Structure formats: C-alpha cells, structure tokens
Amino acid sequence: MFRKAIPVWASGCAKEMNCALVFEADIPSLDGCTMRISAYTFYRLYANGEFVAFGPARAAEGYARVDVLDLNPYHRGAGNRIRVEVVGYYCRSLTTAFGPSFFCAEILEKDGSPVCASGTEGDFVCRRMTEKLRHAERYSGQRQFGELWDFSAQNLSVGAEHILPLTDAPCPIWLPRTAPYPAYRDILLTRHSGCGDYHEDETLPFRENRYSFACSDYWGTFKKEEIADRPYRWIQRQALSKASPGDALPVMLSAGEYALFDFGILHSGFLTMTGKALSACEIVIGYSEYCEAGMFAFTNINMQNVISCRFPAGADVAFQSFEPYTVRNAVILVKSGALILSSFGVKTYEHTMQGARRPAIGDPSLARIYDAALRTFAHNAVDLFSDCPSRERAGWLCDSYFTGAVEHFLFGKTPVEDAFLENYRLYRENPFIPQGMLPMCYPADSGHVESQPYIPQWCMWYVLEVRDYLTERNPDKDPALFRDSVMGVVNFLAGYENEDGLLEDLPGWNFVEWSDANKWVRNVNYPTNFLYAEVLRCTAALYGDTALSEKAERICQTAICQSFDGVLFSDNAVRDENGRLIPTGNASEAGQYYAVLFGGVDVDAPEYAALKHHILTGFADMTGTTERKYVPVNAFIGLYLRIKVLLKLGLYDILLGELDGFFGGMVGKTGTLWEYRQMTGSYDHGFASFAAPAIVEALRGCGKL
C-alpha cells in the first residue's frame, strides 16, 4: 500500500492518551499528485489551508485502512503546504479498536515516485498540536475525548517533536478503503434564531457527566485534578434569558451573551464557525439533536455535547471541530471577551447519496419518511454501518442486518457492508470472548469482561446477515470466506442445547428487544430458539449441511409445542424445584414475531386464528390485559420484526399506515429516524433507515408504485 512511507509517531508518545500532533510538509508542486495516508486514531488533512479529508476508515485490530486522495485540485503553483493533524486517543472505546498511535503517509508524483514520505528524515516536520488541550473529559463512554481548544498565541504549536518509526507495536497490516469516500458539504446558517443574556444560577440541576457506563481507568480517563475545564458542567448552570427574535449574521456577542441556532433538521458532521475576535475571548458551544420552544436543552442521551474555544484578541476565527457530531440546535455562549460571529454551520461527514434510489412516492407523508430514511442512512454508513453518528458511531451486529439491506436496496452494491463484514472476519479472538462468539460491535475494545462484550443473539443475526449478503446481494462471492466465523457461532451455540435440543442459559448479554421481553431470557427463551433455528437453516443453505436443517425443524417443533398456548407464544420457560421446564405465560409482542418469522408458523392455519387477529389489530386487545404478563414492542428490534412480518404476510396497507404513524412525528422534529419510539437516546439511528425499502415494497405490494 505504501511505496516508501513507514508509520511514525512522536518519540515515546504512541501510548499517550489524547495525544494530538501536526505533521507538515512543503511540496514544490501538487500538480498530478496523490496522497496515500493512514493514521491511528484519526487524521484531518489540509492542503494550502483547504480542508481535504478526515479519516481513515476504521479497521479491525492490527489492521489499518489507507486512503488515496487526489491533491491536484489544491495545487497553487510553486510552494504548497500540506498539514495533517492526527489525534491518537489510545483509550478503549466502542468506536475503534484499542492500539498505539501512528501516522503514515506519502505524496506521489504523476509517475508514482514518492516526493515526500513519513519516516524519511526532513520530509515531514512534527509538532505538538498544543492548541487542542489534551486533558479533557470523555465525550462519551463509547467514544473518546471531548474537544477543548485554546488558540492563544502562547499556546499554538511550537517546537519540533522528534519523530521515530513506530516501535511500540507491530506495523499494521494495510487494507484498502472499500467504503466510498465521504460527502463533505458546507451547511452554513445565514441567521441566528435568537440572542439574549445569561447568568450563572447554582440552583439549576446538572449532571456531573453523561455516560452510559462508568468510565473507569480501564477505559481511559484523566484524573479530576488534571482537567482544568469542564464546560459540560458549566453550561448546565447557565440560565438563559428569553431570546430576542432571530436576525441575520453577522452578530456581535460579548461576555454574558448567547446566540441560538437551528438547522431545521439533524446534520452529521464537523461544527464550523467563522468570525473575528474583538478581544481575547472564550466561548462554549453547546449542541443538541432537538430543542423545544426555541430554547436550548440537551436531549436525554449519554454524551457531553459541548466544545470550548479560546481566541486571542484580533484573531480571525475559522474553527472546525476535529471530530464529527450530530446537531439540529446549538447555542454559543461568550464567557469572556467579545467577537463578531460571521457564520455557524456544519461540514457534513456522510455517505454520498448520489445515485441512490429515489422512487416517485405519491403520498407526501411516506415521501418525507423515505427522505428521512435516506438521510439517516447517509449519516450512519460512512466507513462502516454505525448505530448512531453521535454517542457511539459503533458498528453493531443486528443493526447491520437491517442497514446492510438498505445499502443494497439504495445502490445495488455493498461497499460499506464489504468493509463492515471484513472487519468481523479479521477479528482476533481474545480471552474475554468465548471461542466462536463475536464482539457485539466492532472494531471496538472487546476485551473487558465487565463490559459484556458479546451478545449471543447478535452473533445469530450475523449469520443471517452473511446469508443475505452471500445469496441475495453478492451471489458470486465465495461462502468459504465466512465459513470459520459462521461455524464458530453455530458450534458455540450447540454447546448450550438442553435435553430437548433447545438453547438454555446462554452466557453473555442476552438481548431479545428493548422492552421487558429482555427480562425473560432465562432459562429457555423461545424467541432465541426460533432465531437459532433460522441460524441453522442459513448455515445449512450456505454449506450444504442437511443435518443442520433437520435440526432446525426439530427445534421449531419443540419450541412451538412448549410455548404456544392456543393464543400466543410464551417467551420463556423456567425450571421448577424438580428441574422441569414450565412455560411462564410471559408473552411479548416481539416474541410472536420471532415465531412467525423463524418458527415456520402458518398464521392462516386454524390453530393460529387468535394470533393472526392480534397481528392484524396490532395487539390492541392486549393493552391493559391482566390475564398474562404481556409487553408491546419497542422500536428495536420489535418494530422492525413487525415490519418484516407484515411484509411476509402481504399486509401492505396496514404496514403503510403504521409506518406513517410511527415515523411521521420523528420526521417533523429532526428529519431523521430514531432509536426508540420515545424521545430518548439517538434521534438518528442507522437501522431505522430500513423504513425506505419497507415503504417501497409495501407500495408495490398494494399496487401504488
């Protein structure tokens, strides 16, 4: 992948948390030049002061993907400056695999000869990027550190660092980027949506942090006494006066004043800001996925959506966040000094949607949902399939089963899924995940036993995705590529079959759905066993093992016999004092869909008449029932299982009405589709883009497209 370059880093710092370096080179000409570049954790490339790219695409532990970038558009005659900012986080997260920092790049002339290469003395000059403050709080447990910037003159990058070849770890195995290069578009607001004063109010409630789990030393944090600036705490204690009406930019803001901004819909990318510092000033940017009533508030999601910046007097402000975030609403508060704010916006970081399937949908509500699904996909399919572009940016199994179907539906090809599944195929076993199991999300830190790093059901969805990937989307690919990972899952699960042939007491984080159905996973969980049967069918189809398909049918027959009570399927059975399995009668809506999709259940058969009635009515009769413990579906994955069931049964009109009812309100608030049906968590979740193919299939099914 590289002709001359080798990975390098500042001497002795490859295992330093949140280490930011700048690599610069002067190139006589960029005419016809290309750049090959990789880094860990992330890089940001500028050519002659113009933003070029953010990367690289993420890869499995021990591997690194290489971007190949055209520099010709940035040629400016004699004398060209290349600047690469690299942040090596060296902390554990769910966003990237854990590993030492490095930078590797070379610039090639038209004939392919290197004109500049890392590791060649004098080609790149390395400096500490001291304007990006190192000691910061975690942005979230799942991602790395928040952004604190100080552009004061005395704090700018000074003093060359001694760079050495990477010796702290083996050289990565280089991989090409397979996902399309991101779409970078500038979304600039021409108006603020209101201005006003603010003051500190210590009586206001605030959260010390906003993490999904405790960020221990294992995950990587700085000590409290090392962190001088905590803008997330500060901003929660500021009481904002009623805002004046919005007005055109630019606007002058002084200490104690704020300005609000509203993009109208969610955007995913880098926050940008331009202006002029009239005096030395400090500002805090707060951003949110949605705000009510024209005032600023953080949503109920575990991340610290703040950036702080200091600028010296007279500075021309041209700020862009290093990392991508997700924003609809924002507030800028001036803590000290004054500035003229000329623009505020987002440089998008998303999958290009050029060439995406855009059918003419006559129903305006469904058309808006379809567009929102495409926007949601674009935000969550940049270098791999992610759950959300905000809190995590993590590559979760099961989510990917649905998003993978969307990519092929929209484009007829699978470059992002290629990368996603390749990362999983390259996963190395570790002592905290049993042999045969896969991490629940990857690339990520998957080593710590307390983090419950695997979900057995998600590994089952991996097998289903591989089946669809090979048989429906890429029939020319060799199934042998996935044999080891698929058979690893199957062989692991077989070790937990009980005397009836059903899975019982699976280890790990057992996950059926985000509802109380997840409380019913011990001892025997019937939805899991129906899913297991489908895993065996998929494996048999891929590798010609008829014994597995026969086993699948036995599992279905046993699970149906034990769990169906004439109306609904019970979710679980528990052992009594004599060791006998007793069905509990607990019945989740999601559990019924597992049975219909994977259990071979024919809902038109007379014995399932009551179940079919409930499916047709959306289980409305079960609301408030006291006859049994029953829970309706939540958004994930129950709603998406219902979508698949309604499509399977040809109930297209019902589905179209429900899609409008479920997603319509989301579109009006954020223009994207959400993690939950409630206003909590992410308002921009990758799997929700499955609404797009569902709309088209349903419209076609009822002759409306």
Confidence of residue 625 (pLDDT cuts 50, 70, 90): low
The pLDDT of residue 624 is above 90: no
The total of structural domains in the chain comes to: 3
DSSP 8-state symbol, 219: T
Q: Based on the fold, state whether residues 239 and 343 are members of the same structural domain.
A: yes
Residue 75: name the closest of 44, 52, 104, 106 by CA.
52
| Backbone φ, ψ for residue 288 (5° rounding) | -145, 155
Q: Side-chain half-sphere of 697: how many Cα atoms within 13 Å?
A: 20
| Backbone φ, ψ for residue 350 (5° rounding) | -155, 165
Quick one: 51 exposed, middle or buried, by C-beta within 10 A (0-12, 13-18, 19+)?
middle
Q: 610 is in which domain, residue-wise? A: 380-620
* CATH code for position 251: 2.60.120
Q: Based on the fold, state whether residues 212 and 170 are members of the same structural domain.
A: no
Global confidence as pTM: 0.96
- Once rounded to an integer, what is the mean pLDDT over residues 261-288? 98
Q: Based on the fold, state whether residues 342 and 209 are members of the same structural domain.
A: yes
Tell whether 704 is covered by a domain.
no
Choosing from 332, 348, 364, the residue where a domain stops is 348
Q: Based on the fold, state whether residues 386 and 533 are members of the same structural domain.
A: yes
Confidence of residue 431 (pLDDT cuts 50, 70, 90): confident
Cis peptide, bond prior to residue 637, ω within 30 of zero: yes
Give residue 62's Cα distance to chain centre.
21
DSSP 8-state symbol, 604: T
Give the model confidence (pLDDT) of 26-73 as tens digits: 999 999 999 999 999 999 999 999 999 999 999 999 999 999 999 999
**CA gap 397, 414 in Å, rounded:** 16
Confidence of residue 511 (pLDDT cuts 50, 70, 90): very high
Are the C-beta atoms of residues 597 and 641 closer than 8 Å to each other? Answer: yes
Give the model confidence (pLDDT) of 631-678 as tens digits: 999 889 999 999 999 999 999 999 999 999 999 999 999 999 999 877
The pLDDT of residue 477 is above 70: yes
* CATH code for position 21: 2.60.120.260
Choosing from 562, 597, 620, the residue where a domain stops is 620
Choosing from 121, 148, 176, the residue where a domain stops is 176
At 184, the amino acid letter reads Y
Q: Based on the fold, state whether residues 487 and 591 are members of the same structural domain.
A: yes
Q: Based on the fold, state whether residues 535 and 588 are members of the same structural domain.
A: yes
pLDDT of residue 602: 96
Q: Based on the fold, state whether residues 170 and 191 are members of the same structural domain.
A: no
Angle between helix 691-701 and 652-670 (nearest 10) = 140
DSSP code string of 297-351:
---SSSS--EEEEEE-TTPEEEEE-SS-EEEEEEEEEEEESEEEEEEEEEEE-B-
Query: Which region among 162-171, 287-296, 624-633 has the lowest average model confidence (pLDDT)?
Result: 162-171
Quick one: 146 exposed, middle or buried, by C-beta within 10 A (0-12, 13-18, 19+)?
buried
Long-range contacts of 424-431 (CB under 8 A, 24+ apart): 424/60, 424/397, 424/462, 424/485, 425/481, 425/482, 425/485, 426/59, 426/60, 426/62, 426/63, 427/60, 427/61, 427/485, 428/60, 428/61, 428/62
Q: Based on the fold, state whether residues 393 and 342 are members of the same structural domain.
A: no
Give residue 323's Cα distance to chain centre.
13
Mean pLDDT, all residues of the chain: 94
**CA gap 415, 423 in Å, rounded:** 13
Q: Based on the fold, state whether residues 190 and 331 are members of the same structural domain.
A: yes
- Once rounded to an integer, what is the mean pLDDT over residues 447-460? 80
Structure tokens at 70: 């055209």
Tell whether 138 is covered by a domain.
no
Tell whether 574 is covered by a domain.
yes
Tell whether 647 is covered by a domain.
no
- Once rounded to an integer, what is the mean pLDDT over residues 593-602? 97
Give the model confidence (pLDDT) of 208-260 as tens digits: 778 888 788 889 999 999 999 999 999 999 999 999 999 999 999 999 999 99
Residue 43: name the closest of 30, 35, 53, 58 by CA.
53
Structure tokens at 349: 């970081």
pLDDT of residue 155: 64
**CA gap 21, 130 in Å, rounded:** 8
Query: Which region among 56-65, 152-161, 468-477, 489-498 has the lowest average model confidence (pLDDT)?
Result: 152-161
CA dihedral 374, 675, 511, 576 (to 10 degrees): -130
Tell whether 43 is covered by a domain.
yes
pLDDT of residue 154: 66
The pLDDT of residue 450 is above 60: no
Query: Which residue reads 């330093």 in tokens?
Result: 16
Residues 6+ apart with CB under 8 A from 121: none
Angle between helix 415-425 and 456-468 (nearest 10) = 130
Q: Based on the fold, state whether residues 394 and 536 are members of the same structural domain.
A: yes
Helix (H, G, I), strand (E, B) or coil at 407: helix
Query: Which region among 426-440, 585-599, 636-650 has the lowest average model confidence (pLDDT)?
Result: 426-440
Structure tokens at 311: 């600028």
Confidence of residue 108 (pLDDT cuts 50, 70, 90): very high
**What percent of the chain clears pLDDT 70, i.e. is strictly above it?**
97
Tell whether 392 is covered by a domain.
yes
Tell whether 484 is covered by a domain.
yes
Tell whether 471 is covered by a domain.
yes
* CATH code for position 601: 1.50.10.10
Helix (H, G, I), strand (E, B) or coil at 608: helix
Give the model confidence (pLDDT) of 139-194 as tens digits: 999 999 999 999 986 667 666 677 777 766 679 999 999 999 999 999 999 999 99
Taken in order 226, 232, 236, 241, is the CA torsion positive or negative? positive
Q: Based on the fold, state whether residues 117 and 28 are members of the same structural domain.
A: yes
Q: Based on the fold, state whether residues 411 and 510 are members of the same structural domain.
A: yes
Residue 265: name the closest of 685, 684, 689 by CA.
684
Strand duo 306-311 + 147-150: pairing: parallel
